Amino acid sequence: MHKQPSKKYRPFPPVSLPDRQWPNRVLKHAPVWCSVDLRDGNQALAVPMNIGQKLELFQTLVKCGFKEIEVGFPSASNTEFAFNRRLIEEKRAPDDLWLQVLVQAREDLIERTVESLVGAKKAIIHLYNSTSPAQRRVVFGKSKAEIVGVAVRGAQWIKDRLPRLKGTEVMLQYSPESFSATEMEFAKEISEAVMDVWRPTPKRKMILNLPDTVEVAMPNIYADQIEWMCRNIKNRGSLIISLHTHNDRCTGVAATELGLLAGADRVEGTLFGNGERTGNLDIVTVALNLYQHGIDPKLDFSNLNPLIEVYERCTGMTVPARQPYAGELVFTAFSGSHQDAIRKGLNEWKENGRTHWDVPYLTIDPRDIGREYREVIRVNSQSGKGGVAYLLESEFGIELPKDMQREFGPIANDEVDKLGREVTGAELKAMFWREYIERARPWELKRFETESKNGVVRCRAKFLRDGKPVELSGEGNGPLAALVHGFSKIGVSRFEIANYSEHALSSGEEAVAIAYIQIKHADGKTRWGAGVDTNIELASVRAVLSALNRS
């Protein structure tokens, strides 16, 4: 890296907008969305999609609720042209869907593009040419006036061919490509020159797309550029101001949200941000950000996992594990304190019926986008008792008492730490079973019987103690009190029942019950035990033996 970057790079100049209004505005509704997955997204793939893949992704976008889809660059190749024709001739596009096509300001390309749209119900013809100083100087070697001439000629060539699209509702779109790196006055000049050709009206608007083609400034600068254009361009009421941001500075989402505050009406982007260099805008993220604030995004992402599968199958791309909303791990907590807060928050949401979502660490309810709560908390060596308890309860109905969580949590954590990886709920259950349920030495139950008379319960029991038969009898005000009395009679060190709870693990005639019992010895030390049985009385006895065996 350069030791004095200021000698090689320079800051982007701010926009003169001292009375900017966008910082004080609040978003209240969703923009018009346009997916460019089939064009911008496709051209960024190492192996572009074939027609079958494009069709599958197109149909998926329609199901999500997109009403505008840029389906391709039909003049670029026979494959692109054939795809466009197939959509139209096979009537694959719903009547309310706008098919958008991209074209440069060249007459031969415009001719082919118009030809590709014959018979369409609704079509957006998207004309563009690049306008920034670097593009004018390096790529085209043209003056500002010559670049305006390119745009005007392209606009006129499109206008001249519109009669050939009889029966098609056409909307026109112009992009001064590399807008964000273009002088504001020149961006306004060239856009108004195109407007003079197309003559939009409030009833027949045109789209003016102002792309952040390469992010060269902080997102607040882009917002200033959008507000400046909205305030200064003529006939604003005849325009749909559109945004198309990229992610070179990793602020594409922020630039879009601030651009909407600045007055834009429409957003172009791709699913999960696929695009050239560091990608296009991630429409899923912006839409669900709106949803998080109580705004209907007008797109349906209620079943995100199948959408991800289609996207990955068609594009060959993968959604990163930490991708906002969509990533495998974004709703997952491994940290013990996070797990505890999430578990308590979910319990409050379930039990107290709060009106508005307010669960720690979860920006939205994962179930709203097709995720299960069991995916939220996963256990590794960084996890605590809360995560362990949550998985046992959510996957197997094992509701550990809080004090027992404090005992088993460190035991499980030690085992997970030795494994050095994440563990499943089934593995945690196996750990719990080994530690509590399957303990059979020194005490193993063979038979337990009780009878009650005049409020006194008497028990008789047979055990194996280190493999040798032992019998006992005792009495008390309940089966467990009688059992404790019986142990004291055969010389077992004195203990008492400190805590007891039980619940069903399954339903039906052969329902299994689980009992949790904490015993306290004469020296004050405590141990938890657990037992399962179809008979709750026997489950409790097994829990006492479990605690004794762990003492």
> Where are the CATH 3.20.20.70 domain residues in the chain?
31-315
CA distances from 131 to 135, 157, 183, 242 (A): 6, 19, 9, 17
Q: Give the pLDDT score at 214.
A: 95
Question: Residue 171 has which token pair?
Answer: 């909307």
- Please tell me the distance from the alpha carbon of residue 276 to that of residue 299, in angstroms, as a whole number: 24
Q: Assign domain 31-315 one CATH number from 3.20.20.80, 3.90.226.10, 3.60.10.10, 3.20.20.70.
A: 3.20.20.70
389: left (phi over 0), alpha (psi -120 to 50) or beta: alpha
- Window from 373-382, 473-482, 527-536 with minimum mean pLDDT: 373-382
Q: How many CA atoms lie within 13 A of 471 on its CB side?
A: 2
502 near 514, Cβ under 8 Å? Answer: yes
The string of DSSP codes covering 125-155 is EEEEEE-SHHIIIIII---HHHHHHHHHHHH
Of the chain, the percentage scoring pLDDT greater than 70 comes to: 97
Look at residue 516 in the predicted model and tell me its pLDDT.
97
CATH 3.30.160.270: which residues of the chain?
443-549
Across the beta sheet with 468-476, the strand order is 443-453, 456-465, 468-476
Q: What is the pLDDT of residue 350?
A: 86
Which residues have a Cβ under 8 Å from the Cβ of 457 and sit 6 or more positions away?
450, 451, 475, 476, 477, 478, 479, 481, 482
**Which architecture, in CATH terms, is 443-549?**
2-Layer Sandwich (3.30)
pLDDT of residue 233: 98
Cβ(500)–Cβ(515) below 8 Å: yes
Rounded to an integer, the average pLDDT of 271-292 is 96
What are the pLDDT digits (tens) for 375-401?
A: 676 676 666 677 788 788 888 889 999
Predicted pLDDT of residue 340: 83
Asked whether the predicted pLDDT for residue 232 surpasses 90, the reply is yes
Query: CA neighbours within 13 Å on the CB side: how many for 213?
Result: 17
CB of 241 closer than 8 Å to CB of 210: yes
> Tens digits of per-residue pLDDT, 11-44?
999 999 999 999 999 999 999 999 999 999 999 9
Nearest residue to 67 via CA among 33, 118, 117, 38: 33
Q: Give the CA diameter of the chain.
A: 108
Average of per-residue pLDDT across 53-76? 96
Per residue in 65-109, pLDDT (tens digit) is: 999 999 999 999 898 999 999 999 999 999 999 999 999 999 999
Model confidence pLDDT, tens digit, residues 234-245: 999 999 999 999
Taking 60 as the threshold, does the pLDDT of residue 509 lie above it?
A: no
Which residues is 475 bridged to in the sheet?
Answer: 458
Contacts of 101 (CB under 8 A, 6+ apart): 70, 71, 72, 73, 74, 84, 113, 116, 117, 123, 124, 125, 126
Q: Is 92 in a helix, a strand, or coil? A: coil
Residue 63 has pLDDT above 90, yes or no: yes
pLDDT of 227 strictly over 90: yes
Q: What is the DSSP secondary structure assignment for residue 270, as one 8-state letter?
A: B
- Look at residue 517 in the predicted model and tell me its pLDDT: 96
Q: 387: burial class by Cβ within 10 Å (0-12, 13-18, 19+)? A: buried
The fraction of the chain above a pLDDT of 90, given in percent, is 81
Length of the chain: 551
Range of lowest pLDDT (271-280, 376-385, 481-490):
376-385
- 206-220, 221-235, 366-380, 460-474: which has the minimum mean pLDDT? 366-380
Per-residue pLDDT tens over the stretch 143-158: 999 999 999 999 999 9
